[in-house]
Chain A
Amino acid sequence: MKVTREQQQKTTERLAGASAPPAARPPVIGEERDVEVHRRPVRNPGAPLDLESVRALRVNRSAVERRAATIPTRRTVKKQWQAAWLLRAITCMDLTTLQGDDTPGNVLRLCAKARRPLRDDLVDALGVAHLGLKVGAVCVYHALVPVAAQALAGSGIPVAAVSTGFPAGLSPFRQRVEEIHASLEAGAREIDVVITRAHVLTGNWEALYDEVRAFREACGDALLKVILGTGELATLTNVARASRVAMLAGADFIKTSTGKEPVNATLPVGVVMVRQIREYAEDTGHQVGFKPAGGIRTAKSALEWLYLMKEELGNAWLAAELFRLGASALLTDIERQLEHFVTGRYSASHRHPMV
């Protein structure tokens, strides 16, 4: 962790707004410190594939499950600290819609929500207007990238496109690479690619490495998020090996799932992936981001993922540069919790603009 410690120190100072106790209610969150500005970490350039180190990876499932089980059962952050953590979760969200019936209409609605994720009265009551709160990115299918890019113009919120034959990733290789180019041309600044799960299941690590390498080259300056489809990788050892190979091939983020598998982001899978990120940072000095996606619907589960990041990787991974939550309904639940924090009365989903 030597390489990242210095950066962590700085991030701790920036984050202090989210973890130091404000004086009294009404709380003012992040008032004195600028919690928005994060220095983008140096991009992961990748490294040559070291097959032996990949094959040597083993995961102790019961130990991982035990570690994962401790996260949701402990007492959580409360009161103004909880509100601050929830605001932080909003800034790390990839607001997502990946439905067959997506239309420009609901993508426009999603983008409006991305620009103003919280009701104005709540923003004022929390005293966070100066933070210019917005989500990490908006994630859509290729066909809706132009709509989203136009709607988000000038907001600084990037458009992420799912690509390479999402969600199965089984279309012809040349076509998948072409898809990345097309999405970039349409205005996407982040690309979420899916891997060929068969490469993992058959242990064909060279093929997986070459595939992700090619995607990375196609991405150019755009951020590359590699979806492992962990629900279909059978074992945690496979998850660890696939994570390692994806990072060696130059992934900027590794992402758990497409949201279309029967099993989505689970904490044990998260533990395995973030520990691979940690190991990779120790080995190469490069910070790779993490994005859990699928099935994250409640404010509490969002906090659990944030705890995982803080405990396993440190504060640097609590910002949108290195951590994203792929979700949509989650935002409404966070808004409800924040309204309860402001008013002391429990809120209802219908009181918040639709995501």
Chain B
Amino acid sequence: MPAAVTPEREESGPSRAPSPEPLAPIDRTPKLFIGGKQVRPDQGYSRPIVGPEGRPVGEVGEGNRKDIRNAVEAAHAAAAWAQASGHLRGQILYYIAENLSARADEFAARIRAVTGRADARREVDATIARLFTYAAWADKYDGQVHHVPVRGVTLAMNEPIGVIGLACPNESPLLGFVSLVAPAIATGNTVIALPSEPHPLSATDFYSVLETSDVPAGVVNIVSGAKDPLAQVLAEHFDVDAVWYCGGHAGAAAVERASAGNMKRTWVLAHLRDWFDTRQGEGREFLREATQVKNIWIPYGE
């Protein structure tokens, strides 16, 4: 509107010269990631996140039980992921790794800012390597043939469990997150991930990588907030098929207790792991926990 133009701006003309000062960074509060969409938390609250010296480094959405409910619905709606071929799932995991690698510096800077650790770049590289590992596994963990003590064989098919709730480790905010998400989705599960409670910003940055990597909506859902209460809701939910929990003994015990009523499969990683170590942080142990075995008996005659 011409009337609103101030004299100063008129002097500078319609094509203003860029200011010599760099723009101050624009505040951005990441949202939750549910059903392939960035959504505001149900209650509209956010929680402050502080850096290593107690300085605020940002905010994340405060998820509640209704956000978990919505995420579980979204994860079920994405059940077709289990029917996708292992090869396709592998290709998508490679694509995630590629897109993460293109933004490796940015992710490293974020990890450095929130944790104060100097080995941030090593964590990003380890994360990319982990994605490659599970991309390679995606079409190679489909089962085995067993000889049985009758005439015949059995096919032991590894099938995804379904919807898995993941309470991710607090340490290694990016690597720990991907170390749980990647094996679960590589084997065809859909997940609701609760990122590191003190350092959730790497996980919330990660959803823009997922968005650009052809990951179908609802396969990975991220709900930030207070980890233990949210894990409790997941454990009590009748439509969540398994819960993996990384964290303290009290939280782990609560998850196991809550799961007893609904016979849910749980996996609590109560001791601290070195996520950089490939023997502790990846491999068949994770794939086994992400799948259930269906035995098909094939008897044959003489």
Contacts and interface: CB of A to CB of B under 8 A. Distances in A.
A25 interface: no
B256 interface: no
A40 interface: no
Nearest to A344: B236
Given A346-B238, A351-B238, 16 more contacts: A344-B236, A345-B236, A345-B237, A345-B238, A345-B261, A345-B262, A346-B69, A346-B72, A346-B233, A346-B236, A346-B237, A346-B239, A348-B237, A348-B238, A348-B239, A349-B239
Interface in B253-302: 261-262
B76 to A, nearest CB: 9
Interface string B223-264: 000000000010011110000000000000000000001100
Contacts, number: 21
Interface of B: 68-69, 72, 233, 236-239, 261-262
Interface of A is mostly: loop
Nearest to A345: B236
Contacts of B69: 346
B252 to A, nearest CB: 19
A347 B240 CA distance: 9
- Please name the 10 residue pairs, one residue from A and one from B, whose CB atoms are nearest each other, closest first: A348-B239, A345-B236, A348-B238, A346-B237, A347-B238, A346-B69, A351-B238, A346-B238, A346-B239, A345-B238
B108 to A, nearest CB: 38
Interface in A6-61: none
Interface string A321-355: 00000000000000000000000111111010000
Which of A346, A348, A351: most chain B Cβ within 10 A?
Answer: A346
A351 B233 CA distance: 18
A91 B201 CA distance: 47
Contacts of B238: 345-348, 351
Contacts of B233: 346
Contacts of A347: 238-239
Interface string A161-198: 00000000000000000000000000000000000000
A347 B238 CA distance: 5
Nearest to B261: A345
